[in-house]
Amino acid sequence: MKMQGKVALVIGGSSGLGRASAEACAEEGATIVIGDINQSRSEEVLDGIRARGGKGAFIHTDAMNEELVKAAVAYCVSEYGSLDILVNSAGAPTTPDDAGWHFQIDMYLKGPYYACRAALPVMEKQGGGSIINIGSLSSVTGSLAGKIEGTGYPAAKHAIMGITKTLAIANGKHNIRINTVCPGYIKTELTRPLYEKEDGGARLINETLKVPMRRWGEPHEIGKAVAFLASDDASFITGQSLIVDGGFMAR
């Protein structure tokens, strides 16, 4: 119970990597606040957390709406007295066109910016905290965008590393740590079309990508990495990108 007494706001916690992060932090004793647009799925996650002895709440939050993000941070403080951990994990499928480009920038760059902007003064006032941004392999390498309209996602994910490093430098003196987890190919709703093929996505993993561990990653493996960075076990780690990819980037 390394996070006993701590409050974690997980934006995008109703599914995928956000859900796994919420569950992993709850297992370590944190009170979980899920900020999401999907209340029913969020309550399902919270029901599971409560069934295992944890506690938490839902607050309607659109990661791309700064006022709603501010309200989620304020809710944590008013309801539970603090905000110790922030996880930025919101995501959604988009189209590879101009509208999709702007959506990706709004979702994957502006969203975490809004959340960090709201959370940092709270964490500074209370004497510390931990922020974990969910990045991507596209945070540390280029991607096959195909055409310029497809560059929104890698542009945003690269920028998240810039935000992470810059804020880590600026806020280290306040005992606030900011890190990024960069997942590889993980089984989530967004990657379902890839791993639900007839071969279970094996050809992509083993022949095209040549992932050394020769399998897909599971959401809980990202959640555990997030929980580690959120905990005091990572007390001297800040401004870093933790790549969790089965060895893919080792090539």
SS3 132: strand
Give the type of residue at 115: A
Structure tokens at 220: 């809980």
Helix ranges restricted to H, the chain: 16-27, 39-51, 66-80, 98-105, 111-126, 152-171, 192-195, 202-203, 219-230
Q: Which residue has the tokens 């890839």?
A: 194
In DSSP terms, which residues pair with 120 in a beta bridge? none
Query: What number of other Cβ atoms are within 10 A of residue 215's Cβ?
Result: 15
SS3 176: strand
Q: How many CA atoms lie within 13 A of 107 on its CB side?
A: 20
- 153 assigned to active site: yes
Ramachandran angles phi, psi of 166, nearest 5°: -65, -45
The residue annotated as part of the active site, out of 113, 153, 185, 195, is 153
DSSP 187-216: -STTTHHHHTSTTTTHHIIIIIS--TT-S-
Instruction: Identify the CA nearest to 217 among candidates 251, 178, 179, 243.
Output: 243
Q: What does the alpha-carbon distance between residue 28 and residue 30 come to, in Å, rounded to a whole number? A: 6
Active site residue ranges: 153
